[in-house]
Amino acid sequence: KNEVEQSPQNLTAQEGEFITINCSYSVGISALHWLQQHPGGGIVSLFMLSSGKKKHGRLIATINIQEKHSSLHITASHPRDSAVYICAVAGGGADGLTFGKGTHLIIQP
Amino acid sequence: EPEVTQTPSHQVTQMGQEVILRCVPISNHLYFYWYRQILGQKVEFLVSFYNNEISEKSEIFDDQFSVERPDGSNFTLKIRSTKLEDSAMYFCASSEAANRLAYEQFFGPGTRLTVL
């Protein structure tokens, strides 16, 4: 069974700061997902990674398969980025995703 | 853009009652999933469904739960006799193929179930 750990659990930053959220997992995977959950509860998929790096707007996600570690970066953070960011992994022959507890991000103006 | 939809958005029920949560996955997707999130906790996998049968289920998905695809568009989760601890947000998701093959999952907005 995969264990997914995220850090930090809570992060408060000022608008414009560069944000990094980390995720580590214990067992080899086929893919890692970064998800965003807003206060209303809905979940939006940001990235799915199997290797390397992906960029979408101000968001960058990287993964190191050998080290079983991924990072999500937000450049030029904005108050609208305030949300819970969740790391989830797929693989090990399992259909369902295994989720981390999430990082609660608050960007202050 | 295609999206996963769920109804109702909020369901309140009495303990012991049966509830059915409904989902309409994205039309060309083949795999469907239910997840739940108890307030303040992480999201947990319940079940995956493919080709009209359960593909995988977690230890949470016991005999009080069942899933069905009654027609070509709906995917339902039934809880037979609700307990207080079933209170949670339930998310439906769908993907083109099996998640173990590294396909993106698309999530619905969730149904908040409150058991009194």
Nearest CA in chain A to B5: A42
Contact: B55, A45; criterion CB under 8 Å: no
Backbone angles phi, psi at A56, to 5 degrees: -145, 105
The reported pLDDT for the residue numbered A29 is 86
Cis before A8 (ω within 30): yes
Contact: B105, A33; criterion CB under 8 Å: yes
Nearest CA in chain A to B109: A42
Contact: B43, A99; criterion CB under 8 Å: yes
CA pair distance B111, B6, nearest whole angstrom: 7
Residue A92 pLDDT exceeds 90: no
Who among A92, A95, A99 is closest to B98 (CB)? A95
Average pLDDT value over all residues in chain B: 93
* B37, β-bridge pairs: B89
CB pairs under 8 A between A and B: 78
CA pair distance B3, B23, nearest whole angstrom: 11
3-state secondary structure of B84: helix
In chain B, where do the E strands start and end? 5-7, 10-13, 19-24, 31-37, 44-50, 53-57, 65-68, 75-79, 88-95, 106-107, 111-115
Backbone angles phi, psi at B85, to 5 degrees: -75, -5
Q: Give B99's pLDDT tier (boundaries 50, 70, 90).
A: low
Task: Express each pLDDT in B31-65 by its tens digit.
Answer: 999 999 999 999 999 999 998 999 999 999 999 99
The reported pLDDT for the residue numbered B100 is 64
Provide long-range contacts, Cβ within 8 A and 24+ apart, for A43-52: A43/A86, A43/B43, A43/B91, A43/B107, A43/B110, A44/B107, A45/B104, A45/B105, A45/B106, A45/B107, A46/A72, A46/A85, A47/A72, A48/B102, A48/B103, A48/B104, A50/B102
